[in-house]
Amino acid sequence: MSTKNYNYLIKVEYDGTKFVGWQYQKNGISVQEIIEKTLFKIFKSKIKITGAGRTDKGVHALGQYANFKIDKKIDNEGRFLNSANFFLKKNLISVTNIKKKNYLFNSRYDAKERIYEYKIINRIGSLSIYNNKAWHVKKKLSISLLKKGAKILEGTHDFSTFRASSCSSTSPIKKMNTVRVKKKGDEITIEFKSKSFLQNQVRSMVGSLEYLSCGKWTVEKFKKVFKSKKRSKCAPPAPACGLYLKNVKY
């Protein structure tokens, strides 16, 4: 029986529109499943990959990371990338980088910071280029209110309000390192940096920030909802199509 002595980290980009998410699920095709099938084609053996973040159905990635262990050294990394992308491209998945890591490295548990970005297109005209790639909000959003809300979310808090009922995390307490709001033309991006996130946390926070910035909620109401720790008080979560796993820092 061969031992799997080599551990590799890959950087992955994907359009999550047609997937049930990153992780294997019985009810549809996952990104993980497609990549594992591709690795089987290349190495002729069953290989399990561990992802840095479990993105949900419809969520995209610019910088997802995953590691896998194999019993042979990859001598030609360029050839590996070409082979992998040849099989993956029809699914709108690409492996953009590969790196050899020490045997104990784990892409999920060794992550120091995860960076998510949420994209909103704020205009009346419908989306064509950004269809399924951003949240289309017609009502004018206040950038100053978005920035005020973002500031409130920074730091260490109990994020129970923004947590999915199915979340398996042991604690609702997380440290939000930074929340940054940028606007360019009718495109608004909100970037969230934290070591880890609760299930549905980013989309729930964005949904509540939208309520604040379109005038449905005051700053006081936003604070009150956040501090209530009650999921039932949260605004409807923003759609998955605007969310991107942008990068993971190790």
Residues tagged active-site = 56
DSSP assigned state of 230: -
Closest CA to 4 of 98, 65, 74, 52: 74
Enumerate residues 6+ apart whose C-beta is below 8 A from 106: 50, 67
Q: How far apart are CA 22 and CA 181, in angstroms?
A: 26
Closest CA to 244 of 30, 50, 65, 13: 13
CB 146 within 8 A of CB 213: yes
CB 65 within 8 A of CB 246: no
- The alpha carbon of 104 is separated from its chain's Cα centroid by a whole number of angstroms, namely 24
Helix (H, G, I), strand (E, B) or coil at 65: strand
CB 242 within 8 A of CB 120: yes
Long-range own/partner contacts, residues 39-47 (CB < 8 A, 24 or more apart): 39/68, 39/84, 41/87, 42/80, 42/83, 42/84, 42/87, 43/70, 43/72, 45/70, 45/71
